[in-house]
């Protein structure tokens, strides 16, 4: 991407502590070089964020907006569930649309965002993919769970693509799970050629789990919407969870609903606007 030097008007938002810098590119394109993105993401010298969200005009019929997501390391990713909820609140509050629901195109496909009467956002995250080739995940035979050697130990994990790739590890306790160590090892494991987000799931009851997620290109975040969806899909496929599940993340809770194979996953949760600002640091 080419770089820009003009001031950037932005909004800072978060979804359960997973924080974002949101830019409106509906009137004029915004192209940021990777080094500019990493500077903006720096929490000491920049704005600070887990991901940057770019709101663009629609490029196709029957879609209201285009949605791009960039990680703190400057890489572009396919999907972000917490970001999608913030996206819905942003375009409504900025007067960019009065539609409800809102159809948004991502590089992973079209998602539908609905703002509820209570101000929460419900997102149709699409039908999950679990075949190894769809993650992508290099393995022999398809299974609900796989065993993978990393860092001198054998770990058990499920794989799910929710528009981006996820590995889900069942653990006895998320409080003691080696999130930083195993997350970093698995993120760039050779069996995941596009890298992977790594979730650590503790099943509390058939309708409740605790989750911590080490995100590709960002490290551990306070919440991960697609990670919550992936964890519920993995738990449902294993027979541990009901159709509706409360997911407790370090930053708060989400409600995830999945009826089973061939049906879309629905995510519902909050999105919070913090402040507007202007970046003049380039």
pLDDT tens for 113-132 read 999 999 999 999 999 999 99
Q: For residue 198, which of 211, 185, 215 has the smallest C-alpha distance?
A: 215
> What pLDDT shows up at residue 226?
96
Is pLDDT above 60 for 3? no
Rounded alpha-carbon distances, angstroms, from residue 210 to 13, 136, 175, 214, 254: 23, 25, 9, 14, 10
pLDDT in tens, 24-34: 999 999 999 99
Domains recognised in the chain with CATH numbers: 8-124+271-279 (3.10.310.10), 132-263 (3.10.310.10)
> What pLDDT shows up at residue 281?
81
Q: For residue 51, which of 206, 270, 224 has the smallest C-alpha distance?
A: 224
Is pLDDT above 90 for 6? no
- Please compute the mean of the pLDDT values over residues 243-253 and round it to a whole number: 98
> What pLDDT shows up at residue 4?
61
- Please compute the mean of the pLDDT values over residues 225-252 and round it to a whole number: 98
Q: Which residues pair with 208 in a beta bridge?
A: 205, 246
- Please compute the mean of the pLDDT values over residues 164-190 and round it to a whole number: 97
> What pLDDT shows up at residue 2?
47
How much of the chain exceeds pLDDT 70, in percent?
A: 98
- The β-bridge relationship of strands 109-115 and 102-106 is antiparallel
pTM for the full predicted model: 0.91
Q: Tell me the average pLDDT of the chain.
A: 96
Contact criterion met (CB below 8 Å) for 236 and 266: no
How much of the chain exceeds pLDDT 90, in percent?
A: 95
Please identify every residue annotated as catalytic.
Answer: 80, 224
Is pLDDT above 70 for 21? yes
> What pLDDT shows up at residue 229?
98
* Rounded Cα distance, 29 and 40, in Å: 18
> What pLDDT band is residue 282 in, cutting at 50, 70 and 90?
confident
- Please compute the mean of the pLDDT values over residues 193-218 and round it to a whole number: 97
> What pLDDT shows up at residue 1?
41
pLDDT in tens, 96-119: 999 999 999 999 899 999 999 999
Contact criterion met (CB below 8 Å) for 55 and 91: yes
């Amino acid at each position: 991407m080419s770089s820009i030097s003009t001031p950037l008007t932005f909004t800072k938002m978060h979804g359960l502590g997973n924080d974002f810098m949101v830019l409106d590119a509906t009137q004029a394109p915004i192209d940021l070089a990777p080094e500019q993105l990493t500077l903006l993401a720096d929490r000491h010298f920049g704005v600070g964020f887990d991901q940057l969200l770019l709101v663009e005009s629609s490029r196709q019929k029957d879609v209201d907006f285009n949605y791009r997501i960039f990680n703190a390391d400057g890489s572009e990713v396919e999907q972000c569930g917490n970001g999608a909820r913030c996206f819905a609140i942003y375009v409504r509050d900025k007067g960019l649309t009065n539609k409800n629901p809102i159809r948004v195109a991502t590089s992973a496909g079209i998602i539908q965002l609905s703002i509820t009467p209570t101000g929460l956002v419900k997102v149709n995250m699409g039908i999950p993919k679990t075949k190894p080739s769809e993650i992508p995940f290099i393995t022999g035979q398809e299974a609900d769970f796989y065993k993978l050697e990393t860092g001198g130990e054998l770990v058990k994990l499920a794989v799910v693509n929710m528009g981006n790739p996820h590995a889900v590890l069942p653990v006895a306790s998320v409080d003691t799970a080696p999130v930083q160590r195993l997350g970093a090892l698995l993120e760039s494991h050779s069996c995941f050629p596009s890298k992977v987000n790594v979730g650590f799931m503790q099943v509390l009851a058939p309708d409740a789990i605790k989750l911590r997620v080490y995100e590709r290109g960002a490290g551990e975040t306070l919440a991960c919407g697609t990670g919550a969806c992936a964890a519920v899909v993995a738990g449902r496929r294993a027979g541990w969870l009901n159709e509706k599940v409360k997911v407790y993340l370090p930053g708060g809770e989400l409600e995830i609903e999945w009826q089973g194979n061939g049906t879309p996953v629905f995510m519902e949760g909050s999105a919070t606007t913090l402040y507007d600002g202007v970046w003049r640091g380039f």
